[in-house]
């Protein structure tokens, strides 16, 4: 209550506005408000301040809240990845999700958000005709659908043939491409926005089996096809120089190509 | 299709196939997390922005929060007051991120980050004319409040109850109520100019 005149305190006014008072106290305050114009005027000023504050916050921050489609798709992909791991109790949650893998996906998330901002902002005329489909597309191959598959080929054979020749041998038939889109639940996606790509590149002995194929967005912002190409070249060079086994290269690129990039280029970001 | 005869798939270790039962339970949890994501993403982002982080960090934190929630629910942890839980994790991560940014010498000053985050990339001139001045005065007053008071105010603005705010910021209920009331009084005075 407010000193000598028994008016309501600022705190009481706010508590009643916010519905935080209990039964009998709420009743007392309501009764006082009914009889006291002074307090009612103060209550109205308080509500006005609250509504001004709400408006100011929206004006200031809403423009920075981008559409959620990309972030939602990413969250789903990350959950699917976590779901494939055994559910082991972890010590401290905050530490757990700061693992390198999630770190990476978070970078992709940022990039995804940036792409959405980029598209919405129309800074450059990017020819992405269906951004919603693009945003719902996979940012990484899914291990259950695309674990990777290889041909029976030795390191010597891999190194004896040029990259172009490897590519020429392994044509991906249109029917297989369609099947890749279907298994990723992207039948409605515009094929021109995606490349059906090899997870294990043919130059490392990868096959054109559907288990080695995934729809890679052309314009993935950070970890895109160009970056993956660098890794493929690096791995092939290392295999051909005898620095790593072909099977190691195949396993690393198929298990997690982004992690493999970081490992072989000793960096957290694409060079 | 022209597949060579010699082609073979990867060993089964790489071709992970999940157990059908746990997959069903997981997809239920996934649906729950996505629902909460849809409900709270914008509010969480706004909260994190309002306490001085960039939109990029905000997106990162929100992803982390919901992945943590997914793990939390998968382990069968308590489901009561998930809203409070979500905001508490976001708040702690935001402070941690902010601290890391402040201590990184190769980064721009934290104040610059805050300033950058506060610039509307596409200001609407009409809006600015009508209420911009008052709004920026209000926001300036708010940024001058003690940090804890700002947290309380922003959490309340995102719809949290006093009890939840008290838990998130580890304060007593009374302290939350005093903080909010004091901040609003200051804002009101600033608004009257």
Query: pLDDT tens digits, residue range A75-86?
Result: 988 888 888 766
Q: Give the mean pLDDT of A141-154.
A: 83
Nearest CB to B10 within list A53, A57, A147: A147
* Maximum average pLDDT range among B12-16, B51-55, B113-117, B120-124: B51-55
Burial class (CB in 10 A: 0-12, 13-18, 19+), B62: buried
For residue B42, the model assigns a pLDDT of 94
Distances (CA, A) of A197 to A8, A30, A162, B4, B108: 69, 68, 18, 18, 39
**Beta-bridge partners for A216:** A195
pLDDT of B57 above 50: yes
CB contact under 8 A, A76 and B34: yes
pTM of the model: 0.54
Residue A93 scores a pLDDT above 60 = no
Q: What is the pLDDT of residues B129-179, one digit of tens each?
A: 556 777 888 899 999 999 999 999 999 999 999 999 999 999 999 999 999
A28-32, A149-153, A210-214, B1-5: which is most confident:
A28-32
Predicted local confidence at residue B164, as pLDDT: 95
Q: Report how far residue A21's alpha carbon sits from residue A33's, in angstroms, rounded to the nearest whole number.
A: 14
Shortest distance between the Cα of A81 and any Cα of chain B, in A, equals 11
Question: Across residues A186-198, what is the average pLDDT?
Answer: 71
Q: d(Cα B81, Cα A262) in Å, to the nearest integer?
A: 39
Out of A80-84, A107-111, A219-223, B99-103, which region has the weakest mean confidence (pLDDT)?
A: A107-111
Residue A217 has pLDDT above 60, yes or no: yes
Of the two residues A41 and A163, the one the predictor is more confident about is: A41
* C-beta of residue A203 within 8 angstroms of C-beta of residue A232: yes
**Residue B75: band (very low, low, confident or very high) from pLDDT cuts 50, 70, 90:** confident
Sign of the C-alpha dihedral computed for residues A155, A156, A157 and A158 taken in this order: positive
B10 CB neighbours in chain A (<8 A) are 147-150, 211, 254
| Pair A90, A96: CB distance under 8 Å | yes
Using 50, 70 and 90 to split pLDDT, how confident is the model at B122?
A: low
| B residues 114..153 contacting A (CB < 8 A) | 117-118, 120-122, 127, 131-132, 134-136, 138-139, 142, 153
Strand residue runs (E) in chain A: 149-150, 194-198, 213-217
Q: What percent of chain B has pLDDT over 70?
A: 71
Among A150-164, A215-229, B157-171, the range scoring the smallest mean pLDDT is A215-229
Q: For A86, which DSSP code? A: -
Give contacts of B3 with chain A, Cβ < 8 Å.
207-209
Distance, in angstroms, between A180 CA and closest chain B CA? 14
Q: Under an 8 A CB cutoff, do B70 and A82 touch?
A: yes
**Mean pLDDT of all residues in B53-66:** 92
Q: How far is B16 from chain A (nearest CA, A)?
A: 6
Please, are residues A102 and B65 in contact by the beta-carbon 8 Å criterion? no
Q: Choose, out of B19, B40, B48, B71, the residue to mutate when testing the contact with A (most A CBs < 10 Å).
A: B71
ipTM exceeding 0.85?
Answer: no
Distance CA B40, CA B20 (A): 30
Chain centre to alpha carbon of residue B126: 30
Q: Which residues from chain B sit within 8 angstroms of residue A68, using beta carbons?
A: 37-38, 41-42
Q: Which two tokens stand for residue B169?
A: 């910021």
Chain A neighbors of B127, CB-CB under 8 A? 59
| pLDDT over 70 at A265, yes or no | yes
Angle between the B147-157 and B20-50 helix axes, to the nearest 10 degrees?
Answer: 120
The rounded radius of gyration (Å) of the Cα atoms in chain A is 29
Instruction: Give the pLDDT score at B124.
Output: 57
Q: What confidence category does residue A212 fall into, taking pLDDT thresholds of 50, 70 and 90?
A: confident
Residues of A in contact with B18 (CB under 8 A): 83-84, 144
Q: Is A105:B66 a contact under the CB 8 Å cutoff? A: no
Q: Does the CB of B180 have a partner CB in chain A at under 8 Å?
A: yes
Length of chain A: 271
First to last CA, chain A: 65
End-to-end CA distance of chain B: 76
Confidence of residue B27 (pLDDT cuts 50, 70, 90): confident
Q: Would you place residue A140 in the very low, low, confident or very high pLDDT band (cuts 50, 70, 90)?
A: confident
Radius of gyration of chain B from its Cα atoms, rounded to whole angstroms: 22
Look at residue A100 in the predicted model and tell me its pLDDT.
Answer: 40
**pLDDT for res A23:** 86
Put simply, the answer to whether A254 touches B38 (Cβ < 8 Å) is no
pLDDT tens sequence across A37-63: 999 999 999 999 999 999 999 999 998
> Per-residue confidence at B74, pLDDT binned at 50, 70, 90?
confident
- Is A75 in contact with B66 (Cβ distance < 8 A)? yes
> Do residues A91 and A205 lie in contact, with contact meaning Cβ atoms separated by under 8 Å?
no
Q: Identify the pLDDT of residue A129.
A: 29
Does the CB of B4 have a partner CB in chain A at under 8 Å? yes
């Amino acid at each position: 209550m407010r000193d000598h005149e028994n008016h309501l305190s600022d705190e009481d006014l706010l508590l009643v506005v916010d519905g935080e008072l209990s039964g009998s106290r709420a009743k007392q305050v309501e009764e006082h408000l009914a009889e006291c114009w002074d307090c009612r005027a103060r209550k109205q000023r308080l509500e006005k301040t609250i509504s001004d504050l709400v408006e100011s916050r929206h004006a200031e921050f809403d423009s920075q809240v981008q559409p959620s489609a990309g972030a939602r798709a990413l969250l789903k992909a990350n959950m699917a990845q976590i779901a494939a791991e055994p559910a082991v109790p972890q010590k401290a949650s905050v530490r757990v999700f700061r693992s390198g893998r999630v770190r990476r996906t978070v970078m992709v998330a940022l990039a995804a958000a940036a792409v959405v901002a980029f598209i919405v902002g129309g800074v450059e005329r990017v020819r992405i005709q269906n951004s919603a489909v693009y945003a719902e597309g996979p940012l990484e191959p899914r291990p259950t659908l695309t674990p990777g598959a290889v041909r029976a080929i030795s390191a010597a054979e891999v190194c004896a043939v040029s990259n172009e020749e490897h590519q020429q041998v392994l044509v991906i038939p249109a029917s297989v491409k369609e099947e890749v889109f279907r298994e990723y639940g992207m039948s409605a996606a515009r094929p021109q926005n995606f490349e059906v790509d090899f997870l294990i590149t043919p130059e490392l002995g990868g096959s054109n089996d559907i288990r080695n194929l995934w729809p890679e967005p052309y314009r993935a912002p950070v970890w895109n096809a160009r970056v993956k190409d660098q890794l493929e070249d690096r791995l092939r060079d290392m295999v051909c120089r005898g620095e790593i086994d072909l099977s190691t290269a195949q396993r690393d690129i198929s298990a997690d190509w982004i992690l493999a990039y970081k490992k072989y280029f000793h960096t957290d970001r694409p060079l | 299709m022209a597949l060579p005869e010699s082609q073979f798939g990867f060993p089964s270790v790489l071709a992970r196939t999940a157990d059908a039962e746990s997959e069903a339970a997981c997809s239920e949890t996934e649906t729950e997390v996505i629902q909460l994501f849809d409900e709270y993403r914008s509010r969480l982002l706004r909260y994190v922005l309002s306490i001085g982080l960039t939109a990029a960090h905000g997106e990162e934190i929100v992803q982390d929060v919901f992945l943590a929630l997914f793990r939390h629910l998968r382990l069968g942890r308590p489901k009561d007051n998930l809203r409070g839980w979500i905001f508490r994790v976001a708040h702690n991560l935001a402070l941690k991120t902010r601290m890391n940014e402040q201590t990184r010498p190769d980064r721009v000053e934290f104040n610059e980050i805050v300033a950058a985050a506060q610039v509307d990339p596409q200001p609407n001139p009409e809006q600015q004319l009508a209420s911009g001045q008052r709004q920026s005065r209000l926001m300036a007053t708010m940024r001058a409040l003690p940090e804890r008071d700002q947290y309380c105010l922003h959490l309340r603005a995102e719809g949290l109850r006093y009890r939840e705010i008290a838990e998130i910021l580890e304060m007593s209920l009374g302290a939350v109520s005093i903080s909010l009331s004091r901040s609003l009084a200051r804002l009101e005075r600033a608004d009257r100019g």
